[in-house]
Amino acid sequence: MNWFGRKKDTQQPSAVSSTSRPAGGGGGGAATRAKTANTVVSLRENIATQEKREQHLEKKIEMCVKEAKEKMAKKDKKGALFKMKQKKLYEQEIDKIQNIKMTLETQVMNLESAAQNAETFKAMQSGKTAMTEIRQQTNIEHVDDLMDEIKEEMELADEISNALAQPVDLLIADEDDLLAELNELEANDVEEELLRPTKKAEVPAMPDVPTAAMPSIKNATKEEEDELKQLEAELAAL
């Protein structure tokens, strides 16, 4: 039965034939992605076809209701009842179409989710493989060996630095002997200083004490004469 009121196009490819065509491309992964995309497109086209069919049936229902009212107005109950039965059949068909659309939408959603999960799995698998390769190249034994080698090289470099920092002095081996000789010379100098005789300190020459009487001061007072005599006595005592 043709619900669209037009001749069916026999050249139109079906959903099954469109999905059964092998997808071209490179490797298996690309072919699978292409096939999945084609399947999703086919399902969405089928959903669009079901929607067009649903719209056509809704118009049929409107016509049945209109004609049933007209027949009731003409007292043609039998004709009106027939149109109502047609309306009921169309409504049942619309219910089926809606169920089909729901099934197709579910398939599209599940297919897209499965494709996304597959891509996610491939990405995670690729990441795991990369981590495994890196771990194999840098396992714990290699790390321990590397750290030991680095430590050994640092110790050797420190020894080389210490060797280069040593002073280049040809007499450094005789330094103890030279210090002993210097101490001996110092001890000899001290001994000579102690054995050397000491010189008497020279007393500076003092002026002779005059023996002559101090000249008298003319016109001197008695007090001045007494002071002069006292001075003569002090000089005589020296």
pLDDT in tens, 50-108: 999 999 999 999 999 999 999 889 888 899 899 899 999 999 999 999 999 999 999 99
Burial class of residue 49, CB neighbours in 10 A (0-12, 13-18, 19+): middle
Question: Higher pLDDT residue, 5 or 205?
Answer: 205
CA distances from 60 to 82, 101, 199, 203, 208 (A): 14, 20, 156, 160, 171
What pLDDT shows up at residue 211? 59
Report residue 162's pLDDT band, with 50, 70 and 90 as the boundaries.
confident
Cα atoms in the Cβ-side hemisphere of radius 13 Å centred on 169: 8
What pLDDT shows up at residue 59? 95
pLDDT higher than 70, residue 149: yes
- 118/111 Cα distance (integer angstroms): 10
Tabulate helix, strand, coil % of the chain (nearest 5). 75, 0, 25
Report residue 227's pLDDT band, with 50, 70 and 90 as the boundaries.
confident
What pLDDT shows up at residue 204? 59
Question: Higher pLDDT residue, 20 or 181?
Answer: 181
Give, to the nearest 10 degrees, the angle between helix 77-137 and helix 28-73. Answer: 160
Report the percent of the chain where pLDDT is more than 90.
34
- 132/203 Cα distance (integer angstroms): 108
Report the percent of the chain where pLDDT is more than 70.
71
Q: Token pair 């034994």 is at which residue?
A: 141
Q: State the amino acid at position 45 in one-letter form.
A: E
Is pTM beyond 0.75? Reply is no
Three-state DSSP class for 208? coil
- 99/47 Cα distance (integer angstroms): 11
